[in-house]
Structure 1
Amino acid sequence: MPPQKASAALDADTIAAVATPHGRGGIGIIRVSGSSADRICRTVTHTETPAHREVRTATFHDMEGHPIDAGLVVFFEGPRSFTGEDVLELHGHGGAVVIDMVLAATLSAGARQARPGEFSERAFLNGKLDLTQAEAVADLIDGATQAAVRSAMRSLRGEFSERIDVLAESLRELRAYVEAAIDFPEDEVDFLGDGTVLRRLNELQQQLCDVADAARQGTMLTEGVTVVLAGAPNVGKSSLLNRLAGEERAIVTAVPGTTRDVLNADLELDGIPVRLIDTAGLHASNDPVEQEGIRRAEAEIAKSDLLLMIADATQPGSAGLIGVAEAVAGDEGTRILHVRNKIDLTSEPASEPTDPTDPTDATEEVVRISALTGAGIPALRARLTQALGLKSQDEGVFSARRRHLDALTAAAGELKEAIDAFERVGAGELLAEDLRRAHDLLGEITGRVSPDELLGDIFGRFCIGK
């Protein structure tokens, strides 16, 4: 766990917030955390505070002593609580007005309104969670698929943190080894030149790549992926969107240019949340409305994770803006998958499904489908899985975020530079500095090295009651 950090708010403030969703419900919970939780409990309930983890019934009162609600009181004595502080929970009825009245009573008794994510932030600052575990709390709440929820729970249990900690400790040990060799150059054994350092560097780089690959899967689970459908007018983009989404999300007509704006549909692909984006047909046009639609299409292509280039099997290959779209995708590093639609109007056979977990089992460069009949759609789904790099979610994938992947990528870059420089000149001092930077980047993931603005950004995205 990260070392405890000084904070005036932790010493002085007791915070309170509604911990259940707003609106009408059977139960509403007020959570209070801080040194005044015991006193606030006695003030609001007019009874003694329960013992640690004891549940009691009580009546909740406002500051004038008028009864507001009746429910359950639970007290968690710090540090044996989620935040590491004294924590009070008042479980009442879930009406919007009554729960706000109970919250107002706790605020009048000395608490202040908690900021978004402040309970989890205090848990982090008090060493109850590291940063990846705190983020996993939000990921668990926001999980859009069952696979995303399971992966968030793995991170909350510390599986992601453990892999980062193992890497960080290996980097620290290697750095200590290198610095010892620098400090004692008179030793007869050439510690830096005996092959041990280079072997350990290569092992570390492989381990870092393995964790980064798992984090990439976790990032897709947490943040989802965006797939853009592009092509000339009337090639069947909207029909394909409807077919993949399983519902009529886009208007489909025989008139070219029916879609002029961006449409989207959400679906799940092997546990990954996928957002499909249908775009205006790409073609030369003097119509200002169509030009704006094409501009928006190119903007979506630039932001996408995968571009589906749709072609009409009954028409010769399209040119012009299709090449522009592929160029936009190429400039952004977006992967491209070519799809040949309307094979129900030709004699072409539909593509057969491949093994989505085998990246080598994808011999066809173009997927042949019919969005109208559904022919070839299983093959397209398999190719989507391959193109996005999705793997089985039974392999212990943990939830991750873009910042984790960026830090791992940067750390891998530091190790690559370290290996290249060491092979060229064998300078221990430069190697030790590269290892320090890689170690600090890993520390940013778990919060052992975290600037205040990063913490503010992370916890500011939480709901208020967490």
Structure 2
Amino acid sequence: MLARHADPIVAIATAPGRGAVGIVRVSGKGIAPLVQALCGRDLRPREAHYLPFRDADGQAIDQGLALYFPAPHSYTGEDVLELQAHGGPVVLQLLLARCLEAAAAARADGGGAVLTGLRVAEPGEFTERAFLNDKIDLAQAEAIADLIDASTAAAARSASRSLTGAFSHEIHALRDALIHLRMLVEATLDFPEEDIDFLQQADAQGQLDRLQQTLARVRQRAQQGALLREGIKVVIAGQPNAGKSSLLNALAGAELAIVTPIAGTTRDKVQQTIQIEGVPLHVIDTAGLRESEDEVERIGIARAWDEIAGADAVLFLHDLSRADTADYAASDAAIAADMAGRLPAAVPVIDVWNKIDCVDEATAARLQGVGRAVRLSARTGAGLEDLRRMLLEVAGWQAAPEGVYIARARHVQALQAVAAHLDEAHMQLQARAPALDILAEELRLAQNALGAITGEFTSDDLLGVIFSSFCIGK
């Protein structure tokens, strides 16, 4: 634990701006002098007290609720004082300043040595202390931030499940099974005369198989949870006037992008996050792709290609009303060839054939190409549901059971590492003459990868990255 973790900390714990209620939170060891200075009395633990919060001259800064949570029964595991006042920014700043002033006065009087170093908290420091004091594990700490940042109802419910420990429970169950298997292998190493017969009698292979099967289920749910948290980046691309802006507006259900019959109306990207079955999709409308002498339009087209290169999926929009003209078809073919050269093979491209309301069914069927494709009308909305289903399909989303928990990319990567180490362990057990020391090492590395998820094996650098993304006061 770093030296700064011993300092008492204080912060405004509510979002900036005006509101009915605002909260100032203090956490640290021995904050009783601060309670007396601000509230003028001792507070019964875990009971709300309505009273004035006083300045150094005894004048009331505000009237509100004060709650005191003695360690270890608090959010951080330390003594915590929470002041709930009116939510004006000036009032809250006055209370924050008063906390720092009272701590300094207590030190000057010689009775507040325990308050030495009271300072404003860094982002995420309250939750970091909860983690360091074993109130929550790292996966639960991340779930707090994910719950706050959730962009869909499904993501919020999944984050709540992770916060209550659903994801951590699965990881701990995997760890316990892995430890038991490691124990068998280590015992065989300690008593080599038993050799492989001991592992066979203990059904080490069966234990490893069951462990891999359980891991596969956890990985599948974690991937779904990561998709709920992160969503995917979808870029709409195509020639000018193919209906890209109309498609963005139709998907979003709002007039976000300007739509005109003039080619080149969209000069820069327009972005909107939508949700389909709770999965966030970050949809980006880009400038029409063509040769242009207009400098502003050329910049927009260059940015469009940048967005396409970084997409998780691309909607390549085609105008059915012009698709049978030679020039238009040639330009579409050139764009398709350029996309193939710029995009990784794993990035799906959906051919969206727009304006089915402008051609007959036979013409639309004749012009539509092969591969992953959908026909629709951005103007009437026909075919939009087919596109939404296809977007979920390319994202890898499956019908979300209630058991899905929120997860992050680092969790998915850690579980991939566990799977790789268990695969190596499986190969060793299947070998005619297993190298038991290598088997033991692979199981140890798998356990370490699991521990990185919950914070049992975590570097200080990673903790800094994780908690710096929190708001101050949480």
TM-based fold match above 0.5: yes
Q: Which residue of 2 aligns with 1:163?
A: 170
Q: Which of 320, 339, 342 pairs up with 1:328? A: 342
Identity of aligned residues (%): 47
Give deviations 1:147-202, integer Å, cap 9, x for gaps: 11111110010000001111112222212212222222212762456794344333
| 2:101 is the counterpart of 1:93 | no
Question: Which of 371, 383, 388 is the equivalent residue of 2:395?
Answer: 388
CA distance in structure 2 between the partners assigned to 1:437 and 1:151 by the alignment? 28
Q: Does the 8 Å contact 1:231/1:311 carry over to 2?
A: yes
Structure 1 runs of 4+ aligned residues shifted over 4 Å read 192-195, 284-288
Q: Is the 8 A contact 1:350 1:376 kept in 2?
A: no
Residue ranges of structure 2 left out of the alignment (5+ in a row): 104-117, 365-369
Whose helix proportion is higher, 1 or 2? Answer: 2
Q: Equivalent residue of 1:370, what SS? A: coil
Aligned to 2:361: 348
How far apart, in 1, do the equivalents of 2:199 and 2:362 lie? 61
Distance in 2, Cα, partners of 1:300 & 1:38: 55
1:459 maps to 2:467: yes
- Which residue in 1 is equivalent to 2:409? 402
* Gap change, CA 1:208 and 1:335, over 3 Å in 2: farther
Pairing 1:43-122 to 2, within 5 Å after superposition: 43-47=37-41, 49-110=42-103, 111-122=118-129
1-structure distance, mates of 2:361, 2:130: 60
> For each residue in 1:361-405, what CA deviation from the matched residue of structure 2 results, as whole angstroms up to 9, or x when unmatched?
xx9831111111111111111111222122333431111111111
**How many angstroms apart in 2 are the aligned matches of 1:350 and 1:236?**
19
Structure 1 residues 98-138: Cα deviation after superposition (integer angstroms, max 9, x where no partner): 11101111111223111111111111000000011111111
SS at 1:190 equivalent? helix
Spell out the pairing of 1:411-430 with structure 2 (5 A cutoff). Answer: 411-424=418-431, 426-430=434-438
Distance of 1:97 and 1:188 partners within structure 2: 73
Q: Quote the Cα distance in structure 1 between the aligned partners of 2:3 and 2:362.
A: 70
CA distance in 1, matches of 2:446, 2:93: 48
For residues 349 and 446 of structure 2, the distance between their equivalents in structure 1, rounded to whole angstroms, comes to 33
Which TM-score applies when normalising by structure 1? 0.90
3-state SS, counterpart of residue 320 of structure 1: helix
1:375/1:197 CA distance change after superposition, 3 Å: same
Look up the equivalent residue of 1:107 and give its one-letter code. L
Q: Is the 8 A contact 1:232 1:322 kept in 2?
A: no
Q: Which residue of structure 1 lines up, in the alignment, with residue 142 of structure 2?
A: 135
Distance 1:159 1:350 in 2: 53
1:188 & 1:8 partners in 2: Cα distance?
A: 48
Task: For 1:95 and 1:126, locate their aligned partners in 2 and report how far apart those are by CA, in whole Å.
Answer: 32
SS of structure 2 residue aligned to 1:170? helix
Match of 1:101, SS state, is: helix
Q: 1:441 aligns with which of 442, 446, 449?
A: 449
SS of 1:89's equivalent?
Answer: strand
Letter in 1 for 2:458: S
Query: What residue is the counterpart of 1:221 in the other structure?
Result: 228
Mapped partners of 2:313, 2:402: distance in 1: 24
C-alpha contact 1:10 1:34 (8 A) present in aligned 2: no
The residue type paired with residue 303 of structure 1 is G
Q: Which moved more, 1:143-152 or 1:298-307?
A: 298-307
The aligned length equals: 447
Among 190, 197, 211, the alignment partner of 1:183 is: 190
Q: Is the counterpart of residue 34 in structure 1 residue 41 in structure 2? A: no
| TM-score relative to the length of structure 2 | 0.89
- Quote the RMSD (CA, aligned, Å): 2.3
- Give how far 1:205 is off: 2.5
Are 2:274 and 1:267 equivalent residues in the alignment?
yes
8 Å contact kept, 1:407–1:441: yes
Q: Distance in 1 between matches of 2:185 and 2:450?
A: 19
